[in-house]
Chains A and B, each alone.
Chain A
Amino acid sequence: MLRAPWFLLLPLAFLALWHFAVAERWVVEGIIPAPAQVIDSWYTWIFGSAQASLSPYSGTWLANVTYSTRRVLQGFGLAAVVAIPLGLMIGWNRLVARVVDPSIQLFRPVPITAWLPFAIAVFGIYDASALFLIGLGAFYPVVVNTTHGVRDTNLLLLRAARMMGARPATVLGKVVFPSALPSIFTGLRLGIGVAWTAVIVAEMIAVKSGLGYVLWDAYYVGRMDICVATMFSVGLLGYLSDRVIVAASTFVLRWRALEAHE
């Protein structure tokens, strides 16, 4: 009984409600597309169609998914490469913490959307704007969680390492870093979520390609079916990228799975 695919229950109920709401005209006609129409448009968007060759959305799905994914990976990668070493230093060295941490805490509450005009003014309607927003958005959770992980390192492990002759740099690399990895992965998971949010916002306004651009463009020309298909596409990509990080973390932190069985 428990093995039945229960997770499908709510989505199917939602789909049914959606279908009947449109079919029975509970909602104003023409604003919300029926599920079947969304699936049909999504299919055409992905695979193209002979009849719909005039549609600007025919067969362009993969190209736009690629644009968005590439931006997310670049921005997120940049954020991780900067935030992980910086977080290690902030957690490890009091002087670095005193100099850098207050500024991070000061800038962190500024919503990523509030940076949009600034980004466009400085970087223009180019990829650089999008990368700036994505990178900045993903940077905060990674740096904060890395710092937290470092500070959480068991004092006895640090003492043990020093007693065995490890120099400070070795302690940082061989003890503090592995000990902080679970926290770092938490930061990366939060970061990739912010990165997908940021890419949609950035593409709506700061560049002219990608899923965010399609979303806003489709809204303007009244193609709600494409809007909904875009929302599902972004959700799917966000879910997949999260699974990839979880899989990497499960592999890297194999030793933790053993601890859970105690």
Chain B
Amino acid sequence: MSAPPAIALERVRKEFVKGERRVLAVEDVDLAVAQREFTAVLGPSGCGKSTLLNLVAGFDRPTSGRVLAGGEVVGEPSPARGVVFQEPALFPWLSVFDNVVFGPKTQGQPAAEYRQRAAQIIEQVGLRGFESHYPAELSGGMRQRVGIARVLILQPQIMLMDEPFGSLDAQTRTLMQELLLGVWERHQQTVLFITHDIEEALLLADRVCVMTARPGRIKKTIQVGIPRPRSIEVTTSPQFNRLRAEVFALIREESRRAATESARAASAG
């Protein structure tokens, strides 16, 4: 018998109720992510991508269906499922070092052990020399490095990343994507990566799940198949261009559908 998938979503549906209004965020989502697989979820804005991630993280419960991690139903958030948020969400009153060691420290791990690990990880994400800086003193890219470092130190089986580079400028984003490729090739966790950036998804992931407009469903899953180790150069290869054209057509269809539907809703309302 084979090992259970690292992440499994089974007929997941999530509806938010705000007063009188009900919003169906995702519906009928089936998704299995294998151990050590890097899966990107790609979709137009407002399609419920982040909802999926919050369900896997344990921040939210599905309205119906099941969310499993390592074969067990997801309950509370856990260090086994590390999350990198879109805003870095660092503790502004803690230094870079204290932000990075927050997890192991709060779990009561021995300081001698996690301090050494922290030094290594800080080195890997390129933050050496900034240990005693506060988040407010860092650039957006450096803050996100801290956001990644504090998850790596948890040694999670699963890393959940919610548009982590979405708010960075183009150059910094490329640098961070390369950094993530390097870090992932070293640590090899299962990654669920949420993004609306086609190139980012194709550059990083083994597999890209394209979502429909709301209510979000998985429209199509595409195997990327570009050999690793990858670098930013692969984005100019013919294979990459073919994949990009394919995904672009899928996304465009969904964005159009979303636009006409919201226009129809506006004229009806």
Contact = CB atoms under 8 A, between A and B. Distances in A.
A159 interface: yes
Contacts of B82: 163-164
Interface in B44-87: 57, 59, 76-79, 81-83, 85, 87
Given A163-B78, A164-B79, A262-B136, A157 B106 contact: no
B136 A258 contact: yes
Contact of B89 (A154, A166, A181, A255): A154
Contacts of A167: 106
A164 B106 contact: yes
Interface in B143-165: 150, 154
A164 B106 CA distance: 8
The A interface is mostly helix, strand or loop, or mixed, namely helix
B136 A255 contact: yes
Contact of B79 (A165, A253, A255, A261): A165
A156 interface: yes
B130 interface: no
A164 B136 contact: no
Interface string B91-127: 1110000000011001100000000000000000000
A159 B134 contact: no
Interface string A74-85: 000000000000
Contacts of A162: 59, 76-77
A174 interface: yes
Contacts of B136: 255, 258-259, 261-262
Contacts of A253: 93
B107 A160 contact: no
A161 B102 contact: yes
B83 A165 contact: no
B166 to A, nearest CB: 14
Nearest to A259: B136
Contact of A255 (B57, B59, B87, B134): B134
B106 A166 contact: yes
A170 interface: yes
A75 B59 CA distance: 42
Given A156-B87, A163-B79, 9 more contacts: A164-B150, A165-B79, A165-B106, A166-B102, A166-B106, A170-B106, A174-B102, A258-B136, A258-B137
Interface of A: 154, 156-157, 159-167, 170, 174-175, 178-179, 181, 253, 255-256, 258-259, 261-262
Return the 5 tightest CB-CB contacts between A and B, nearest first: A164-B103, A156-B89, A258-B136, A259-B136, A165-B79
28 contacts: A156-B89, A157-B89, A157-B91, A159-B57, A159-B85, A159-B89, A160-B85, A160-B90, A162-B76, A162-B77, A163-B77, A163-B81, A163-B82, A163-B83, A164-B102, A164-B107, A164-B150, A164-B154, A165-B79, A166-B102, A174-B102, A174-B106, A178-B91, A253-B93, A255-B92, A255-B136, A258-B134, A258-B137
